[in-house]
Amino acid sequence: MGNWVNGEWRWDLLWRRKLFVWEVGLLDDLMGALNSYQMSNTQDLWVWKHDATGIFSVKSAYSVLASNMGVRVASSVVSDQVLAKVWKSWAPSKLSRLIICS
């Protein structure tokens, strides 16, 4: 896939077959997109950007969902409109139930 050379990431993609002529341009586009990102040789970590602590919570997920719909979230009031969106969403059913029950 790639490796570090003198502190810089170098992509080395391997293909199962020789690329067709029309695929070469697509590969150039892909490499341009990949090289537009700055890679760093550090440990990855998960961060939930919608909370100051960086930790995911159902409360913060609900707040994000509600704010995207233009609904003001009150601490003790649950919006039927938001719950309807959660119920009809493509989220896994376990997550939908968790959000609704919280």
Mean pLDDT by 10 residues, the chain (102 residues): 88 94 96 90 89 88 76 52 63 62 57
* Whether the Cβ atoms of residue 85 and residue 65 lie closer than 8 Å to each other: yes
Domain span at 13? 2-35
To the nearest whole number, what is the mean pLDDT of the chain? Answer: 79
Q: Are residues 64 and 29 in the same domain?
A: no
Q: How far is CA 78 from the centre of its chain?
A: 26
Domain assignment of residue 44, yes or no: no
Domain assignment of residue 92, yes or no: yes
Domain assignment of residue 31, yes or no: yes
Distance between CA 7 and CA 71 in Å, rounded? Answer: 47
Distance between CA 5 and CA 42 in Å, rounded? Answer: 15
Domain assignment of residue 13, yes or no: yes
Domain assignment of residue 46, yes or no: no
Give Cα separations from 19 to 15, 16, 22, 30 (angstroms).
8, 9, 8, 14
Q: What percent of the chain has pLDDT over 70?
A: 67
Q: Is the full-model pTM beyond 0.85? A: no
Instruction: State residue 83's pLDDT score.
Output: 63
Total domains, the chain: 2
First to last CA, the chain: 42
Instruction: State residue 76's pLDDT score.
Output: 40
Q: Are residues 63 and 94 in the same domain?
A: yes
